[in-house]
Amino acid sequence: MHRVLIAVVLGLAAPAVAQEGDTYDIDAPIRDQARAAADSALDSDLAYEITRSLTTEVGPRLGGSPAEARAREWAVEKMQALGFENVRIEPFEIDYWTRGDIEVDVVSPYPQPLIATALGGSVATEGEGVTGEIAYFESVTALRRAPEGGLDGKIVFIDQEMTRTQDGSGYGAAVQMRYAGAIEAGKRGASAVLIRSVGTDSHRFPHAGGMAYEENIPKIPGAALSSPDADQLRRLMEGGEAITVRLKMTPEDRGKSESGNVIGEIVGSERPEEIVLLGAHLDSWDLGTGAVDDGAGVGIVTAAAKHLMDLYGAPERTIRVVLFGSEEVGLFGAKAYSEQHQNTLENHVIAAESDFGAGRIWRISPGIAEEKLPITDAIAKELVVFGVGPGPNNGSGGPDLSYIRRDGVPVVSLNQDGSDYFDLHHTPDDTFDKIDPDAMAQNVAVYASFAWIAANIGETFRAEPAEESPATP
In this structure, whether the domain defined by 2-96+256-456 belongs to CATH 3.10.100.10 is answered with: no
Task: Give the residue among 434, 430, 116 at the shortest CA–CA distance from 286.
Answer: 430
CA angle centred on 69, ends 67 and 71, rounded to 5°: 70
Structure pTM?
Answer: 0.93
Contact (CB, 8 A) for 240 and 106: no
Which residue ranges make up each domain of the chain? 2-96+256-456, 100-250
398-409: per-residue pLDDT in tens? Answer: 999 999 999 999
Catalytic residue among 161, 265, 274, 327: 327
Task: Give the residue among 291, 422, 275 at the shortest CA–CA distance from 341.
Answer: 275
Q: How large is the angle between the packed helices 46-57 and 296-312, nearest 10 degrees?
A: 140
Contact (CB, 8 A) for 51 and 79: no
Q: For residue 464, what pLDDT is reported?
A: 83
Q: How large is the angle between the packed helices 437-456 and 28-42, nearest 10 degrees?
A: 160
Contact (CB, 8 A) for 16 and 6: no
- Between the alpha carbon of residue 72 and those of residues 88, 210, 358, 400, the distances in Å are 9, 22, 22, 17
Task: Give the residue among 285, 123, 155, 128 at the shortest CA–CA distance from 225.
Answer: 155
Q: For residue 149, what pLDDT is reported?
A: 84
Q: Which amino acid is at 449?
A: S
- Find residue 339's DSSP bridge partners: none
Q: What is the mean pLDDT of each run of 10 residues along the chain (473 residues)?
A: 34 37 86 93 97 98 98 98 98 98 98 98 97 98 93 97 95 96 97 98 97 97 98 97 98 98 98 98 98 98 98 97 98 98 98 98 98 95 95 97 98 97 98 98 98 96 74 48
Burial class (CB in 10 A: 0-12, 13-18, 19+), 219: middle
At the second CATH level, the architecture of 100-250 is: 3-Layer(bba) Sandwich (3.50)
| Cα(98)–Cα(153) distance, integer angstroms | 26
| Cα(178)–Cα(224) distance, integer angstroms | 8
Q: For residue 120, what pLDDT is reported?
A: 98
State whether the Cα torsion 319-325-326-330 is positive or negative: negative
Q: For residue 3, what pLDDT is reported?
A: 35
Residue 327 annotated as catalytic? yes
Q: How far is CA 93 from the centre of its chain?
A: 20
| Cα(420)–Cα(203) distance, integer angstroms | 13
